Structure 1
Amino acid sequence: MIGLLPLMLERVGLLLIVAILLSRLKSFRSIIYHEHGYTEKISLILIFGAFGVISNYTGVEIHGGGSITSQVWQTWVGPDGAIANTRIMGVVIGGLLGGPLVGTGVGLIAGLHRFTLGGFTAISCGVSSILAGIVTGYIGRRIRIWEKRALWQAVAIGILMEAAQMGIILLVARPLEASLALVNVIGVPMIVINGFGTFLFMLIIQSILREESRTRALQTQKAFSIADETLPFFRQGLNPDSCREAAAVIMKWTNADAISITDRKRVLAHIGAGADHHISLESLSTRLTRDVLDTGKPGVAESRGQIQCSKPDCVLQAAIVLPLQVREETVGTLKLYFKRPGRLDRADKELAEGLGKLFSTQLELAEAERQRRLLKDAEIKALQAQVHPHFLFNAFNTISSLCRTDPEKARSLLLQLSVFFRSNLQGARQFLIPLYKELEHVKAYLAIEQARFPGKYTLRLDIDPALEPIGVPPFTLQPLVENALRYAFPSQTHGENALIVLRAYRDGEQMVLAAQDNGRGIVPELLDALGSKTVESQQGTGTALYNIRKRIDEIYGAKGQFRIESVPGEGTTVTIRLPVQHSYVEEPYAESFDRG
């Protein structure tokens, strides 16, 4: 009995070497990772059935007198002989992994093959193998193979199945004296070795599963990191600048040799290999991309021919192309290119597919935000349309009076009125306008009001010239001045007493805009509500202040600030803080206006 242990251990070592080699194969690991369909179950039956066959062939022959014969390949057993092997180990692992169908299949292969080798235990060993497969298959339904306790559960099941085989040999194999002698020799070694082999085999299986869990966790973390870094760019929609920045982020986090992002007609950004002919802002050059745009389904190419690039010797030989969709409509593609097909593995495919869905969601959110802003701007424009007719009628009356008494001033006011309404049209068309254009709007408005009420109001400007090209939301300062004229000053106020000061200066990375008046101030019970909501009072509703604050919140978020400070009888100061970098506006926005 003692002499059998090292021989059995040698056989287990041979099977474990095969198991370790299998664990390195992608196909075997894929079968272990995923939910088992019929294809995977058949694969498991064949794999672990082969383990059972190898165990039979490499078994140690035990003769009727208890003598042991060790040979490399056991192809036949004498009538009075038996085999000590590790067959049950493969049957148990197969059943635990694949359930009743796999367990039964593995048991049949291993058991029938053992029966063909002969010996007086052929029937009992064959039957025990089949029964072990069925039993462990049903037990396998209740065991979560990835849990730590499953390791010891499998060892216990392997020991019990081997012990049950010893019992079946005693019940079925004849003569009984030979069965007793055989079990006395092989019982303890086979139970111990099969339990030990099951333990090691389960360690291999669980290491595969743990590696998969770690890989999935890393892939998930990577996907979230990419999504977080690309969110600011995809929120801007699909344009060359945002796509170039997003592609650089994706390139950093993936194994791809090149990243490309397109809309439906052209390449918006391409970085990495192949940039000599996959050129940004040129039309699409691969048939695979067009197919994905047409079908709305991911495309995978594992050869240069499948990509169908316009350049025959393109260095890119594999790719995965993902549709970018907004409201179920494909608006572009994300493409990950590889120089060698072998680099495009299953993990990259899963990561790319996840990124495609995340980016599509980001684009949908960007579109929803854009629509929300358009709606808000429409509300603001509707408010402007209600206010301007009154202002227009008053201006026309003033100009009409001046046409007889001061034609030159009437002409000047007509020009100012033109500037005022052109500023309104510009504000209706654009998201941001240069600060100097907003100041022109203020000056035009005040010029007309001063013509109606000569000498009543004084405006002082303290503007940092470096800030004049910086963008601000339209209708930001002009409504503040209008509010001051309408509500801050009593009707009897005249001359220098009615003062409005507009300041613009830089504070670090922020532009500070301040509108200050020396008017009547705001009573404390209204101050907290103004800017946060509309209010009902004899002095007005606060709609203009509310709209300004809402637009600043929507455009800049936490980076923008709006604050009202007031002391009754002394005046009011409205302070607005905007991020300078976010608000930059190029000169072309103002090309149709004169700074004069």
Structure 2
Amino acid sequence: MIELLFLMFERVGILIILAFLLSRMKSFRQIVHNEHGIKEKMILIAIFGTFGVISNYTGVEIEKGLIISQSWQTDVGYDGALANTRIMGVAIGGLLGGPLVGLGTGLIAGLHRLTLGGFTAAACSISTIFAGIVTGLIGRRYNIQKEKSQWWAMSIGVMMECIQMGIILLIAKPFESAYRLVEVIAFPMITINGFGTLVFILIIQTILSEEEKTRALQTHKALNIAQQTLPFFRKGLNVESCREAAEIILKCTNADAISITNEHLVLAHVGIASDHHKPMESLRTQLTKKVLEQGRIIKAKTREEIQCIKKDCPLHAALVMPLKAHNQTVGTLKLYYAHPNKLDQAEQELAEGLSRLFSTQLELAEAELQRKLLKDAEIKALQAQVHPHFLFNAINTISSLIRTDANKARKLLIQLSVFFRSNLQGARHILIPLEKELEHVEAYLSLEQARFPDKYTVRIEIDPSLKKLYIPPFTLQPLVENAIRYAFSKSKKGEVTIRGWSENGKMVLTTEDNGKGVSPEMLSSLGNTTINSAEGTGTALWNIKKRIEEIFGQEGAFMIESEPEAGTKVTITLPLVQNKESENYAKGFYR
């Protein structure tokens, strides 16, 4: 019995080695981890049926209670029997795949055992099929893949082997030979099959554990990348946001280059092949166009599949994923590799997860855009309004001057048209040149000073190099208007100074008056909310501050300083936006 026990350990060792090798196969791991369809069940039947056949061939022949053969078994004598691990493979197949797999595995292993002969052939064949059916039914009801289920699975393996011993005693003839055989093989076979079932289940649970850990790591990695790229994708698909996002993705993946496109242009490309994959150029690969057309992920493992227009392009593999917003493909995310073997399953799953997350971010960006457009519409409505008293006063002033000073009246009429034109332009644009805003200020001042020639003076000290730079419209004119309308008492001549200079890579604009100033209580509210007071509502200040925040984010700043009877100073800090850059800012605001 002890000798047979050690021989059986050798036999089960062969199956455990095969099981371990099988567990390293990606296809088998996927079958174990996922739901089983008909195709997967057929594969499991083939695998565990093969285990049963190998168990038959590697069994130890027993005749009249003696071990007579240790070689590969292809034929068993009439008075002989086999001690083997056949039940183990059948039981695991049934527990893992359910009734169909259990029955199929039992039939393969059982019928094969019948062909080998011996006086227990029929009994072993019946017990094997029975074990497949029973373990299949148990496997459908209970999940052996759960943690700590290995002992329960081992007990089922032990029970199935005990049942086989019982069937041998009931069916095999003569009974004396069957009884003597069971005395010899029962303990070794029950022990070894229980042990083998335990080890095999542990291997399967290890597969599941590794898959879960891998997915958890991939999920963590994808969420980390998504978190870092969120501020950029929230701005929509534009050159600046896509470049920043692409650089983050490149650092966090194994890709050699990252590209992001919209439906027509490459918006960003970082990494190798940057010499011909350039931002703001038309799409250069047929693969990208195909993904945009079909709206599905496409993988390429050769340069020919990528179909880059440059023949010696160093990119040899790619994973191109659609970026979608509201079920419409609005762009692509492309991970490029110099060597195809770098594009493994883990990298593909990570990229697919990123594609879904980025698509969600773009939908959020679209929702944010709608919110901004609504807010912008409100702001435009405010910008397009002209204070009726200002208009009537300007017309009355011009009308009175027509008789006394026609020349001046003509100039004021021109200034009134400039004022109106600036109002309309400001209502249509997110950013305008600083010089246009100054024209708006000067037109307003000309009309006001015609009415009150000695009430105040205005000095404009702007660095000429700033005049071509872009700022939001209605930034300075409302500040000057506020100062003129509310800052000065009747007895004191007012002074308003507008300054502009560059400092630390930013444009600084200030308007300062020597007026009444505001109280500390009111100062805390100005620019942060609208207020109700005899001097006004504070809407203009709130409007300016909100637009700076919406367009420039942390790159812009708006600050009010004031003391009672000491005047008020408003400081605006903006990035140095050139003509080309202004288009990107506008795109970022509107997409």
Q: What's the TM-score once normalised by structure 1's chain length?
A: 0.85
1:346, 1:336 → 2: CA distance? Answer: 13
Classify 1:36/1:125 alpha carbon distance in 2 versus 1 (closer, same or farther; 3 Å). same
Q: Which stretch of structure 1 is more off in the superposition, 409-418 or 343-352?
A: 409-418
Alignment of 1:584 with 2:584, yes or no, is no
- The correspondence of residues 221-236 of structure 1 with structure 2, limited to 5 A, is 221-236=220-235
Q: Aligned partner of 1:193: which letter?
A: I
Deviations 1:161-201 (A, max 9, x none): 22222232233323332222222211221222122222222
1:415, 1:74 → 2: CA distance? Answer: 110
Q: Does structure 2 retain, via aligned residues, the 8 Å contact 1:146–1:210?
A: no
Classify 1:302/1:442 alpha carbon distance in 2 versus 1 (closer, same or farther; 3 Å). same
Alignment of 1:540 with 2:536, yes or no, is yes
Instruction: Give the superposition deviation at 1:11.
Output: 0.8
Alignment of 1:109 with 2:108, yes or no, is yes
Q: Aligned partner of 2:114: which letter?
A: F
Deviations 1:501-533 (A, max 9, x none): 556688978877665555556678866665454
Deviations 1:77-119 (A, max 9, x none): 1222211111122122212221222122212211221222222
Alignment of 1:60 with 2:60, yes or no, is yes
User: What secondary structure sits across from 2:269 in the alignment?
Assistant: strand
Classify 1:38/1:206 alpha carbon distance in 2 versus 1 (closer, same or farther; 3 Å). same
What residue number does 2:586 align with? none
Q: Does structure 2 retain, via aligned residues, the 8 Å contact 1:433–1:585?
A: no
1:510, 1:157 → 2: CA distance? Answer: 76
Deviations 1:402-426 (A, max 9, x none): 4554566556645654654454344
Instruction: Give the superposition deviation at 1:44.
Output: 0.8
What residue number does 1:2 align with? 2
Q: Aligned partner of 2:348: which letter?
A: K
What residue number does 1:99 align with? 98
Gaps of 5+ in 2: 583-591
Deviations 1:520-565 (A, max 9, x none): 5667886666545445554434332332343344335577665667
1:179, 1:308 → 2: CA distance? Answer: 71
Q: Aligned partner of 2:577: which letter?
A: V
Q: Does structure 1 retain, via aligned residues, the 8 Å contact 2:114–2:125?
A: yes
User: What secondary structure sits across from 2:173 in the alignment?
Assistant: coil
1:172, 1:510 → 2: CA distance? Answer: 96
Classify 1:584/1:372 alpha carbon distance in 2 versus 1 (closer, same or farther; 3 Å). farther
2:256, 2:527 → 1: CA distance? Answer: 51
User: What secondary structure sits across from 1:325 in the alignment?
Assistant: strand
Deviations 1:404-462 (A, max 9, x none): 54566556645654654454344334323456654554444334322211222344668
What residue number does 1:570 align with? 565
Q: Aligned partner of 2:30: which letter?
A: S
What residue number does 2:153 align with? 154
1:462, 1:476 → 2: CA distance? Answer: 16
Instruction: Give the superposition deviation at 1:280.
Output: 4.3
- The correspondence of residues 355-434 of structure 1 with structure 2, limited to 5 A, is 355-387=354-386, 390-402=389-401, 405-406=404-405, 410=409, 413=412, 416-417=415-416, 420-433=419-432
What residue number does 1:21 align with? 21
Q: Does structure 1 retain, via aligned residues, the 8 Å contact 2:306–2:318?
A: yes
Classify 1:183/1:558 alpha carbon distance in 2 versus 1 (closer, same or farther; 3 Å). farther
Q: Aligned partner of 1:554: which letter?
A: E
Q: Does structure 2 retain, via aligned residues, the 8 Å contact 1:301–1:320?
A: yes
Instruction: Give the superposition deviation at 1:56.
Output: 0.8
2:502, 2:273 → 1: CA distance? Answer: 44
1:313, 1:550 → 2: CA distance? Answer: 50
Deviations 1:113-147 (A, max 9, x none): 12222222222222222222222223223444443
1:190, 1:18 → 2: CA distance? Answer: 19
- The correspondence of residues 120-159 of structure 1 with structure 2, limited to 5 A, is 120-159=119-158
- The correspondence of residues 239-254 of structure 1 with structure 2, limited to 5 A, is 239-254=238-253
Q: Does structure 1 retain, via aligned residues, the 8 Å contact 2:384–2:424?
A: no
Q: Aligned partner of 2:101: which letter?
A: V
Q: Which stretch of structure 1 is more off in the superposition, 66-75 or 269-278?
A: 269-278
- The correspondence of residues 325-344 of structure 1 with structure 2, limited to 5 A, is 325-344=324-343
Alignment of 1:178 with 2:177, yes or no, is yes
Classify 1:289/1:384 alpha carbon distance in 2 versus 1 (closer, same or farther; 3 Å). closer
Classify 1:588/1:401 alpha carbon distance in 2 versus 1 (closer, same or farther; 3 Å). farther
Classify 1:409/1:146 alpha carbon distance in 2 versus 1 (closer, same or farther; 3 Å). farther
1:152, 1:506 → 2: CA distance? Answer: 75
What residue number does 2:585 align with? none
For this pair of structures, how many residues does the alignment match? 582
Relative contact order, higher structure (CA 8 A, sep 6+): 2
- The correspondence of residues 177-576 of structure 1 with structure 2, limited to 5 A, is 177-275=176-274, 277-311=276-310, 314-387=313-386, 390-402=389-401, 405-406=404-405, 410=409, 413=412, 416-417=415-416, 420-433=419-432, 438-439=437-438, 441-459=440-458, 472-490=471-489, 493-496=490-493, 498-500=494-496, 517=513, 519=515, 531-556=527-552, 570=565, 573=568, 575=570
Q: Does structure 2 retain, via aligned residues, the 8 Å contact 1:95–1:140?
A: yes
Classify 1:549/1:311 alpha carbon distance in 2 versus 1 (closer, same or farther; 3 Å). closer
Q: Aligned partner of 2:199: which letter?
A: L
What residue number does 1:593 align with? none
Classify 1:511/1:279 alpha carbon distance in 2 versus 1 (closer, same or farther; 3 Å). closer
1:572, 1:90 → 2: CA distance? Answer: 91
Q: Does structure 2 retain, via aligned residues, the 8 Å contact 1:434–1:589?
A: no
2:551, 2:118 → 1: CA distance? Answer: 86
Q: Aligned partner of 1:287: which letter?
A: Q
Gaps of 5+ in 1: 591-596
Deviations 1:40-72 (A, max 9, x none): 1111111011111101110111112x1113423
Q: Does structure 2 retain, via aligned residues, the 8 Å contact 1:560–1:576?
A: no
Q: Does structure 2 retain, via aligned residues, the 8 Å contact 1:15–1:51?
A: yes
1:563, 1:111 → 2: CA distance? Answer: 86
Q: Which stretch of structure 1 is more off in the superposition, 121-130 or 525-534?
A: 525-534
RMSD: 3.5
1:194, 1:355 → 2: CA distance? Answer: 45
2:281, 2:5 → 1: CA distance? Answer: 72
Q: Does structure 2 retain, via aligned residues, the 8 Å contact 1:502–1:515?
A: yes
Q: Does structure 1 retain, via aligned residues, the 8 Å contact 2:87–2:128?
A: yes
Classify 1:69/1:423 alpha carbon distance in 2 versus 1 (closer, same or farther; 3 Å). farther
2:462, 2:141 → 1: CA distance? Answer: 76
Classify 1:318/1:72 alpha carbon distance in 2 versus 1 (closer, same or farther; 3 Å). farther
Q: Which stretch of structure 1 is more off in the superposition, 76-85 or 341-350?
A: 341-350
Q: Which stretch of structure 1 is more off in the superposition, 11-20 or 540-549?
A: 540-549
Q: Aligned partner of 1:75: which letter?
A: T
2:553, 2:119 → 1: CA distance? Answer: 84
Percent identical:
64
Deviations 1:273-301 (A, max 9, x none): 54555454443343333222222233233
Q: Does structure 1 retain, via aligned residues, the 8 Å contact 2:81–2:118?
A: yes
Classify 1:175/1:507 alpha carbon distance in 2 versus 1 (closer, same or farther; 3 Å). farther
Instruction: Give the superposition deviation at 1:468.
Output: 6.9
1:114, 1:576 → 2: CA distance? Answer: 92
